[in-house]
Structure 1
Amino acid sequence: MGISDKALGALIAFYLLNFKSLPGIYNLRVVRYFVRHGLLKEPLTGILEPHKYHSRVWFDDMDLNIHLSNSSYNKMLDYSRIELFCRLFPGWRTRHIFDMRLAQTVCFFKAEVPKFSKYTVTSRIFTWDDKWIWISSRFSIKRKVRPARHAKAIEGAAVPGSSTTATAMSSKSEKGVEEDEEDEDDIDPIDEKAHLSGPSDGAVLVPASPAADDSMADVPERLCCLAYARMVAKDRRGKTITPEALFRRMGHQEAYPGQWEEYRAFGMKMIEGMMKTGSQPADQPTVGKKLANPTRARI
Structure 2
Amino acid sequence: MNLIFRLLWVVIGAFRRSKLGMLDESVITLRVLPNDLDTNIHMNNGRYLTIMDLGRVDFIIRSGMLKHLREQKWYPVVGSSKLSYKRSLSPFQKYQLKTRVHGWDEKWIYLEQEFVVDDVLYARGIVKTIFLKDGNKIPSSEVALRLGYDGPSPEINPADEQALA
TM-score tier (shorter): 0.7 to 0.9
Which of 276, 279, 294 lines up with 2:162 in the alignment? 276
Provide, for residues 84-117 of structure 1, a one-character-per-residue CA deviation record: whole Å limited to 9, x for no partner: 1111214244333210100101000111112211
What amino acid does structure 2 have at the position aligned with 1:244?
Answer: S
Larger strand share, 1 or 2: 2
Q: Which runs of 5+ in 2 are unaligned?
A: none
Cα deviation per residue 1:197-229 (whole Å; 9 max; x = unaligned)? xxxxxxxxxxxxxxxxxxxxxxxx110000000
Rounded to whole Å, the distance in 1 between the matches of 2:11 and 2:74 is 14
Deviation at 1:26? 3.3
Show CA shifts across 1:8-61 (max 9, x none): xxxxxxxxxxxxxx2xx43454456556667xxxx9111111100110011111
1:129-208 equivalence runs, <5 A: 129-142=105-118
Secondary structure, counterpart of 1:94 in structure 2: helix
Letter in 2 for 1:114: S
The CA distance in 2 between the partners of 1:31 and 1:246, in whole Å, is 25
Aligned with residue 253 of structure 1, among 145, 149, 152:
149
Describe the SS at the equivalent of 1:91: helix
- Residue by residue over 1:115-172, the C-alpha shift from the partner in whole angstroms, topping out at 9 and shown as x without a partner, is 2110001000010000100000000111xxxxxxxxxxxxxxxxxxxxxxxxxxxxxx
Task: For 2:13 and 2:81, locate their aligned partners in 1 and report how far apart those are by CA, in whole Å.
Answer: 26
Q: Do the aligned partners of residues 35 and 119 (structure 1) sit closer, same or farther apart at CA in structure 2, a change above 3 Å counting?
A: closer
Equivalent-residue separation in structure 2 for 1:83 and 1:77 (angstroms): 10
Structural RMSD (CA): 2.4
Partner of 2:121: 223
Query: 1: CA distance between counterparts of 2:4 and 2:85?
Result: 27
Over the matched positions of the two proteins, sequence identity in percent amounts to 19
1:113 maps onto 2:9 in alignment:
no
Q: Secondary structure at the match of 1:95?
A: helix
Q: Label 1:122 to 1:34 Cα distance change in 2 as closer, same or farther (>3 A).
A: closer
Flag the 1:113–1:34 CA change in 2: closer, same or farther, 3 A.
closer
1:133/1:243 contact within 8 Å kept: yes
**Distance 1:138-1:49 versus aligned 2 partners, 3 A rule:** same
After TM superposition, the score normalised by the length of structure 2 is 0.85
Say which structure, 1 or 2, has more relative contact order (CA 8 Å, 6+ apart).
2
CA contact (8 A) 2:68 2:146 kept: no
Q: Check the 8 A contact 2:82/2:163 in 1, yes or no.
A: no
Match of 2:104 in 1: 128
1:55 aligned to 2:30?
A: yes
Where does residue 91 of structure 1 map in the other structure? 67
Per-residue CA distance 1:261-291 (angstroms, 9 max, x = gap): 2xx242x1x1x1243359xxxxxxxxxxxxx
CA–CA distance in structure 2, aligned partners of residues 61 and 110 of structure 1: 17
Alpha-carbon shift at residue 247 of structure 1 (Å): 2.0
Whole-angstrom CA distance in 2 between matches of 1:59 and 1:33: 19
TM-score when normalising by structure 1? 0.49
